[in-house]
Structure formats: C-alpha cells, structure tokens
Chain A
Amino acid sequence: MPELIEGSLAVAEAVRLCRPQVIAAYPITPQTHIVEALAEMVANCKLDADYITVESEFSALSACLGASAAGSRTYSATTSQGLALMFEVCFNVAGMRLPIVMTIANRALGAPLSIWNDQQDSISLRDSGWLQFYAEDNQEATDLHYIAYRVCEDPSVLLPAFVCFDGFILSHTYEPVEQLTQADVDKYLPAFAPKERLDAADPISFGMYATPEYYHEFRYAHDKALKDSQSIIEKAGKEFAKLFGRDYSAVVEGYHLSDAETVLVAMGSICGTTKDAIDEMRAAGKKVGLLKIRVFRPFPTEELAKALAGAKRIAVLDKNISLGSKGAVAFEVKDALYGSGIPVYGYILGLGGRDVRKKDIKEIVGLAEKGKGDGFYGLRTEVL
C-alpha cells in the first residue's frame, strides 16, 4: 500500500533500507529533512550507521571518501552551495572510483542567493564523472536510490552517483510512495564488498598521482566505465521491475512519442507538469509528446536520437543555463540530433524557483511550432 509521505522522508527511508554504514552530511535547505530523518533513525537504533556530523559539505564528502575507501557503504545528501563546496571532492571521489551515493535536492546557485529549485547545482558537476539520475516524482526519487547503489557498487562500474530530485517541489511535497521492505531491499542490494579497500592485512595505495604517461589513460578508463554503466543501469532497472513492478530500466522514457510532431525534452519534476499539459493539448488535437531524461550521466545519446528520430521539432526545457551559451540539456540534444535536420529549440525556464505551469509548456510548444524563442522563457521584462 502506498503511504502518503513527504519526499525527503521517503528518500530517507529508502536510504535506511540500503543499510549505509557511514553517513556524513551537513545541513542545507532544502536537503535538511533527509539528514534529520536519518539522524533520528540512528538515534533510535533503526539504522546501524556511524553518522558523522561534519563541519562543512566539503568534509561531508571527504569523510564519505575515506569511509568508502575503507570498505563501508556511505551516503550523503546536499544541494546548491553545499554541492559547490564539494566541487573538488566530487572529482576526487569519482576519479578514485568510490561508489558513494548522494541525494541532491536540486536548488539554484548564488548570487543572488536563492533557496528555490532549479538544476544548476548538479548540472554544474556534469563533468565530474558521477552518474546523474533525475527523478520525476517521489516514488521514482525513492526507488532510484536502490538502483543507484546497485549500479555504483557493480564491480564493472565503481563510480559514485547523484540521485537528483527537485528541491521543495519534490523534497517537501507529500505524495503517495510505495516503500520496499528490508527483506525486499536485501534481496536486491547485496552487502558492499569491494575487492580493494584500505586494509592492514593487504596494504595498497589509494589516490596516487599520475604523470603524463598515465593520466590520459586514467581518464579514458573512467569515461569508459561511466559510459558502460548504461547497460548496468538498464539491467538493474529490469531486475527491479521484475521484483517490484516499477520499471526504471529506460534511460530515456517517452510519453505520447510515437506520432508526436513536437517533442518536449525535460528532466525532473517538470516532466509531470509537461505530461498534464500534453494530455490537454492532445485532447485539443495537438500531436505533442515528451521525452524524459532519467539518466543525464552517462548521457544516452543513441537512445535519445532514436527516440526523437520521428519528431518534426524538439523543444528542450532547461532548468539551468551555461551562462554565455545555452542550457545543458539542449546542448546534448543538439549533439545527439546533429545531421538529422530536426530543429532543436532550447528554453531556459524555472530558474531560482520560478513556477513552470501547464500554460507555460503549451506556450513553449506554440513558440517551437513557430520556430521561435531559443533562450530565456518567461522573462518579466518590467523588472529588467
């Protein structure tokens, strides 16, 4: 039976069921409810983890790095400025191939300060070598944690992952969520048993420096492992579906795609709003569809190109902006469709918590049909 629960609490429960042995986190809005819930579980012996109350996000991820290298399953959660403070550690964790799972309650980056949602934070770390999952709703946000641990700890992957869900829009919203039982999760997610760890009985060195003779190959191996993880994600998703009925095996997922002339491409909670808008547009006879990107890293270029091959035009919704250029998702879509002749329009929207409504989605479809509007959508010109 699904339970009506706040997104953060549903995620915390999923994390508990994953049996992390070491948690290190630092409070930041809108991530706090997750880490508070986990602290309460530890305080009440419902979670047998060492919870390190670090003095910064930088130390949170650094402590996870040490604990993971010593052989423990580790967890952290953060957002926005906290993730920015972790920047250096993020690259390090991934380069050292440590399978840490971290929830990102997506939030805008300052300045100006904003506690509200967009996806600039995790997008800004797209080059750090982590897997990046984006959840549409809280059921998906919850389930993606099981899948993330399963994939990351796979001996052929050994990489960390962000599980991203939109701050406030999902993290603080009550939705029905079906939780797994401990027995379910234990069946799906075996104990973390890395082949290599810090161990006095078998000393090895972690984090050595590489000269130009080796560095290039380290990066190649990292990139290859990240790209190859896509098949492991698909496999882990299929097995999850077989056991629990919910299917996350598709790295991109279509909605009314087959005959769609205009296809919207989006990530995260905006997909829900978009689906509602599509239903209404369909009822009015418009052939509109959605391609939802669930896995942004590794980027599913081929799957995306295949799914969009029949479209007349693409409208990409980006809750981020590579300032001085364009949205990160638009970039990827244009790359995937290069040479196809299908026009791709990018819309920057919903930054810093600006609501995106069904009527906005409809308006964007209208703009795309006219081949207009590449850039910022919905500007309040009166304050410019």
Chain B
Amino acid sequence: MVDKNLELFDCGHRACGGCGAALAARLVLKGAGTNTIVVSATGCMEVFSTPYPETSWKVPWIHSLFENASAVASGVEASLKKQGRTEKVIVMAGDGATFDIGMLCISGAFERGHDFTYICYDNEAYMNTGIQRSGATPYDASTTTSPAGSCSFGNKRPKKDMPQILAAHGAPYVATASVAYPANLMQKVEKAINTPGPCYIQLHAPCCTGWGFEGEQTVAIAKLAIETGLWVNYEMIDGKVAKVKKVVRKPVEEYLKTQKRFRHLFKPKRQDAEIAAIQAIADKNAEKYGIDIKLKKE
C-alpha cells in the first residue's frame, strides 16, 4: 500500500518554485517506498537535487550520464539479483534522455527484460539546457531551437509515441500519468514496481520556466492537458490499453492560452488553422483512447 505521508525526496533542492519534475520525484518515491534504488539520467532533476555535497534523495541514488540510465539500471538489477537482494530499481529521466538520446539503451534494456521501472518525467523539451525541442515537444510549441517566427509556428512535429514503442518491446506494464492526479500516479508506480519485467511510466510534468506560466499554475495546467485530450492518462497491460481517464473535453485553446510557448498562436493574430490542427491531435487522441464522456442532452 502506498504511504502518502512518506517523504523520500527532501526539501531544500534547487528546483524552480512550482516545478512539475520536483513534484513528480516526490510523488514517485511515495509510490515506490523505501526499498528502492533510483537511477537518474542527466537533466534538471539530477541537477537540482544533487549539488555535491547535498542530496535530496533519501533512497540510494546513482547518476552516471545523460543517455545510459537504463543500461546502468540493467547492471544494478543484475547485481541485486546475483546478491539475492530485494530492492526495486527505478529510472528517473527526462523526456530528452528518454525520447532521444537514451533510446538505444532503453530499447536494449527492455528487450533483455530487466526487472525495473523506467519513469520518464515529461516536460516536453530540454529544460536543463534552456528549453530546446525534444522528440516529446508538442506540435507548434515554441522552444529555443524550434522558435516561432515570421515563417514558423514552432515545433513542426507531434510528440513521439514512446509508450507504444515500449509496449511493442513486450513491456508487461506501460502507463501514462500526470502530477495533476497524485493518487493515480502513486498507484501506477506501485503497480509498475511490483510487476516483474521492464515497466514504463510516462509522467506529464509541466515546466513553468520552459512553458511560460506562473509556478502556482502547474497542477491546473497539467489538469487542463488531460481535460483537453492533449495528454491521455491510461494503462497498457501486455500491450493492451486497459484503463483510461475519461473527461468531458474542453477545447484545446483553453490549455494553449495558459502558456507562453503557444502565445504565437494567439498574438499578434489568432492562427485558426494551427489551433485547428492541434484540436485535431486532441480529437485523434480522444478517438484512439475513448476518453470522451458523453453528456446527456438536456
């Protein structure tokens, strides 16, 4: 059972006020408990939590490089197995480390079937290096390497579907979660670490600095992502979608308007075609995962 009062991610770290990733770390560890070893990839979370000689991690923690967290976790898991130890191994990595530079190591570790849980805190760009686009950056988001300009609306590609890629590796448990739904998030972590084999959780973690909103809005914005269908919370058991968070959908505009990374879609003039394209992404998500709650007509 998840102990909601357990605090394994200590305060005093250097994250921005309202950081979704810091909230994610705290909630993940509540779900995982004390018998856990965390492997981190280079990124914001690693940097804000472990400036030598201080650490926020009250569980054993290791960071090696940007792209090798799942290979390091493979070794940790093999070592524990050989020693007959019971700790659960969790990787905590950002979307750049997961969607892009770490793909090779992730694919290898999942194919080999190591018993570990890979958690990607997805803030949809390289935040640690100053908000550059990654394979997780949504369509039309303005970043420092996909800036909106007089002949660009920002990032030209939709998000890569990592959960499907990992499900295709035969992962027994794949889930998406959000910092806006902490109880659901903690339960999913608990479920993943208790499922033998490689499991994957992709965790939506808004970044106030990178997305351009006030720190107190983090949870509200994460919630709006779900309510508009731009982020879908679901589970996949053995590759089949099992549980989906259903919503009464709001127009994507309500989400886009809250963040400076989409500001160019509204100012200096409203870009109807682009907003419609993003609405189409949400509609496709809604259809694919069946998230719509149909309201009875009055």
Given A50-B82, A52-B74, A58-B104, answer yes or no on A207-B63 (Cβ-Cβ < 8 Å): yes
Q: Pick the residue among A70, A199, A205, A211 that contacts B75 (CB under 8 A).
A: A70
- Rounded to whole Å, the gap between the CB of A161 and the closest CB of chain B is 18
Contact between chains at B78 and A22 (CB < 8 Å): yes
| Interface pair B64/A207, CB less than 8 Å apart | yes
Q: Does A32 contact B (CB under 8 A)?
A: no
Bound state CA distance, A71 and B60, in angstroms? Answer: 13
Interface hits, A196-216 → B, CB 8 Å: 198-200, 202-211, 214
Q: Say yes or no: A67 contacts B79, CB within 8 Å.
A: yes
Q: Mark A25-57, 1 if CB is under 8 A from B, else 0.
A: 000000000000000000000001110111110
Query: How many residue-residue contacts, CB under 8 A, span A and B?
Result: 160
Known: A66-B75, A203-B59, A204-B60. A209 touches B112 (CB 8 A): no
Contact at B73–A66, with CB atoms within 8 Å?
yes
* Residue B35 lies at the interface, judged by CB distance under 8 Å to chain A: yes
Whether A206 and B79, one on each chain, are in contact in the complex, defined by CB atoms closer than 8 angstroms, is no
**Cα-based distance from A214 to B52 in the complex (angstroms):** 8
B107-A50 in contact (CB<8A): no
User: Does A58 contact B64, Cβ atoms closer than 8 Å?
Assistant: no
Do the beta carbons of A89 and B35 come within 8 Å of each other? no
Q: Complex: how many Å from CA A67 to CA B51?
A: 24
Contact across chains for B78 and A200 when beta carbons are under 8 A apart? no
Known: A71-B79, A205-B55, A210-B52. A200 touches B74 (CB 8 A): no
B31 CB → nearest A CB, Å: 16
B135 CB to nearest chain A CB (Å): 19
With A200-B34, A200-B87, A206-B63 in contact, is A55–B111 under 8 Å at CB?
yes
Q: Is the CB of B72 within 8 A of A22?
A: no
Contact A200:B36 (CB < 8 A) given known A67-B78, A69-B76, A96-B64? yes
- Please judge, given known A-B contacts A65-B64, A200-B34, whether A59 and B71 are in contact too, CB under 8 Å: yes
CA gap between A208 and B51 in the complex, in Å: 6
Judge if B37 is at the interface, Cβ distance under 8 Å.
Answer: yes
Given contacts A54-B71, A62-B105, A200-B34, contact A49 B63 (CB under 8 A): no
Residue B58, interface by CB 8 Å? yes
Contact pick for A62, options B51, B71, B82, B87, CB 8 Å: B71
- List, in ascending order, chain B residues with CB within 8 A of A199's CB: 60, 87
Chain A residues in 8 Å Cβ range of B280: none
Contact A70 B64 (CB under 8 A): no
Q: How many residues of A contact B (CB 8 A)?
A: 43
- Chain B residues with Cβ below 8 Å from A8 are none
Of the candidates B34, B75, B104, B109, the one whose C-beta lies within 8 Å of that of A65 is: B75
Tell me, yes or no, whether A80 is within 8 Å of chain B by CB: no
Q: Is the CB of A211 within 8 A of B76?
A: no
Cβ–Cβ < 8 Å partners of A205 in chain B: 50, 55, 57, 60-63
By the criterion CB–CB under 8 Å, are A49 and B82 in contact?
yes
- Once bound together, how far apart are the Cα atoms of A34 and B79, in whole Å? 21
In the bound complex, CA of A203 to CA of B62 (Å): 10
> From B50, which residue of chain A is reached at the shortest CB distance?
A208
With A55-B108, A72-B82, A96-B64 known as contacts, the answer to whether A22 contacts B57 (CB < 8 A) is no
Contact with A along B78-92 (1 / 0, CB 8 A): 111111000100000
B65 to A88, Cβ gap below 8 A? yes
Judge if A24 is at the interface, Cβ distance under 8 Å: yes
Q: Are A66 and B71 within 8 A (Cβ)?
A: yes
Tell me, rounded to whole Å, the shortest Cβ–Cβ distance linking A325 to chain B. Answer: 29
Measured in the bound complex, the distance between the Cα atoms of B112 and A96 in whole Å is 26
Q: Give the contacts of A159-202 with B (CB-CB under 8 A).
A: 198-200, 202
Could you list 30 examples of A-B contacts with CB < 8 Å?
A48-B82, A49-B82, A54-B112, A55-B104, A55-B105, A56-B104, A56-B105, A58-B67, A58-B105, A62-B75, A62-B105, A63-B71, A66-B72, A66-B78, A68-B79, A70-B80, A96-B64, A198-B60, A198-B76, A200-B35, A204-B60, A204-B61, A205-B50, A205-B63, A206-B60, A208-B52, A208-B53, A208-B63, A209-B51, A210-B52
Binding site for A on B (CB under 8 A): 34-37, 39, 46-47, 50-53, 55, 57-65, 67-68, 71-83, 87, 104-105, 107-109, 111-112
Which residues of A come within 8 Å of B, CB atoms?
21-22, 24, 48-50, 52-56, 58-59, 62-72, 74, 88-89, 92, 96, 198-200, 202-211, 214
